[in-house]
Structures are given as C-alpha cells and as structure tokens.
Amino acid sequence: MTTTTGTTDGTRTTRSARRTTTALPGPARLAWSRTRYEVRGFFRERDSVVFVFAYPILMLAIFATVFGADEEVLAGSGVYFPQYFLPGMVATGVMLSSFQNLAIAIAAERDDGTLKRLRSTPLPPTAYFLGKTGQVLVTAGVQTALLLAVAALVFDVPLPTEPGRWATFAWVFVLGTAAGSVCGVAYSSVPRTGRSASPVVIPVVLVLQFVSGVFFQFDQLPTWMQQLASVFPLKWMAQGMRSVFLPDEAAVLEPSGSWQHGATAAVLAAWLVVGLVVGVRTFRWRRRDDG
C-alpha cells in the first residue's frame, strides 16, 4: 500500500506503509509450550492423576500379597513374585499413561469442541500431537519412578545396577511410550462420543493386561493366549521390562527361553508405524455429527 504526501516546494514524495507481522515460534518451542500446557491440564484432573499413578502400585501390592511376597516364581530361581510382577506393572503403567489416557482424553476434547477450536487457530497439528506425547513421557516417567520406589522400599525388590540394563529400560520405555501414544491417538476416533470413550477403551486395556502376562506368569498361560498377546505391544513391553528387572537366568521362564530384544524392538516399532499411518488417515477434529 502506498500513500503520497505534499511538500513545501511543491514536489510530491511517496511513502510505503509497511505492515508488521509477527512470526509464530518454531515447531520445537510450540511443542514445548504445548507439552507444558498438557502437563498442567493433566495434573488438574485429580481423579485421573490418582488412577494413573496409583493403579500399578495397587496391582503390584495385591498380586505380591496374593501370590506371596516370600514365594519364588520357580523353585531355586531366586526370583520372588513382587520382582516378577514389577516389570508387567511398569509396562501396564506406560500403557495407561499413553494409549488409555490419550484415547479417552482426545475423544473428550473432540466431543466438547476443543479440537474444533484448536484447528481454527494458527497452532500446527504437529505441535498439538507432540504436546500430547510430551505429556505422556512426563507422566509415565513420574509414574514409573513412584512404582520403582514403592517396589524397592516396601517389597525389597532389587533394582538393576548395570548401565546396560538401564539402557535397555530406556529404549523399551521410550519406544513403548511412543507406540502407545500414536495408537491412543488413532484409537481416539473409535468412540462416537466423549461419554462412550471409557467403555470403549478400558475393556481393551483390561483384556490385553490379562493375556499379556501382567497379572499372571506368562509361560503358564494357554498357548493360544500367548500367541494372541504376541500380536500386541503390551506383551513385548512387559517382556522387555522383565529383561531389565529379572536376572539373566530368569529367561528360562519365557516361552522362547530368551528375552528376544530384537523381536521386542521390531514389534514396538511396527505398532508405532501402524499407529502413525492409521492416525493420519482416520483422525478427526470434529464430532461425527458436526457437519
């Protein structure tokens, strides 16, 4: 846009009126800001916080008590039931924080119009999804730290001291969290309304917990159940965590007789890719009845 102004000597000068624009922050900064927002929002929901943080701890306490805190999983193995169940509870805690939490929360945000309003803002979709994933990493990390502290202090579960085991813990935790997060985002499109989200999501999580060796010794489950569980990521997360918290000799308790780190990484990575593809193709910002 140009404007002209007169001068005292009769000449005319031209002046450009420039409009100043403010650029959006970079993707990393937006994702970090969104993560902080999501974390604050999560901790404001006290019911969800109590459930997500307390559930694995309560389950560990219950099953350690039922099976006997001083009973060995296998005679002469030196592995007691609290130590055996701990890895499964770590894995199920990650699944609660990622898959279940996101599937329910996003469905509710879609139902109440939050997603529709966000879509009309300059916030890039990637920042929204990275913020959700960042929130899952924070909450799952806090949850796992609390669970490990209770296991060590209350049930005398020995924690690993070798750096290699903690390195295994790190990649299983990160890959499992990422896979659970993208699958939760993808599955959030299944519930028709926010109210139906919990009944649609929670039974899936419960079934996977029962067939994946979270509540029972995995090698004692029926063969067909083991094969079914092997399709899904929770079984592999639990097995990967057992390789961290159990001695190497305990690998004989696995149906394969080994920890299968390669298969664990492959299955979790495959579900990460599947979740991304399905999520991209099916994710909805509006309710089904919102034309």
Q: H-helix or E-strand containing 264?
A: helix 261-282
Evaluate whether 69 touches 39 at the Cβ level (below 8 Å): no
Tell me the residue range of the domain where 246 lies: 24-282
Distance of alpha carbon 96 from alpha carbon 106, whole angstroms:
14
* Residue 288, domain member (yes or no): no
* Residue 10, domain member (yes or no): no
Question: For the residues of 31-69, what is the DSSP string, one character each?
Answer: HHHHHHHHHHHHHH-HHHHHHHHHHHHHHHHHHHHHH-T
Rounded to the nearest 5°, which phi and psi values hold at 3? -135, 155
Cα Rg of the chain (Å, integer): 25
pLDDT value at residue 291: 58
N-term to C-term CA, the chain: 39
* Residue 289, domain member (yes or no): no
* Residue 11, domain member (yes or no): no
What would the pLDDT profile of 153-202 be if each residue is shown by its tens digit?
Answer: 999 999 999 999 999 999 999 999 999 999 999 999 999 898 899 999 99
What is the mean pLDDT of the segment spanning 15-26? Answer: 55
Distance of alpha carbon 168 from alpha carbon 146, whole angstroms:
19
Query: Could you give the angle at which helices 81-95 and 197-211 cross, rounded to 10 degrees?
Result: 150
What is the number of structural domains in the chain?
1
Distance of alpha carbon 213 from alpha carbon 209, whole angstroms:
7
Composition of the chain by helix, strand, coil, percent to 5? 70, 5, 30
Distance of alpha carbon 253 from alpha carbon 71, whole angstroms:
15
* Residue 291, domain member (yes or no): no
pLDDT value at residue 76: 66
**Per-residue confidence band for 24, with pLDDT thresholds at 50, 70 and 90:** low
Distance of alpha carbon 241 from alpha carbon 259, whole angstroms:
10
Q: How many CB atoms are located within 10 Å of the residue 42 CB?
A: 19
pTM: 0.87
Evaluate whether 85 touches 63 at the Cβ level (below 8 Å): yes
Identify the top-confidence range among 72-76, 123-127, 263-267, 281-285.
263-267
pLDDT value at residue 208: 95
Distance of alpha carbon 109 from alpha carbon 117, whole angstroms:
10
What would the pLDDT profile of 69-91 be if each residue is shown by its tens digit?
Answer: 777 776 666 788 889 999 999 99
Q: What is the largest CA-CA distance in the chain?
A: 106
pLDDT value at residue 2: 44
Distance of alpha carbon 125 from alpha carbon 106, whole angstroms:
13
* Residue 16, domain member (yes or no): no
* Residue 269, domain member (yes or no): yes
Distance of alpha carbon 289 from alpha carbon 291, whole angstroms:
6
* Residue 12, domain member (yes or no): no
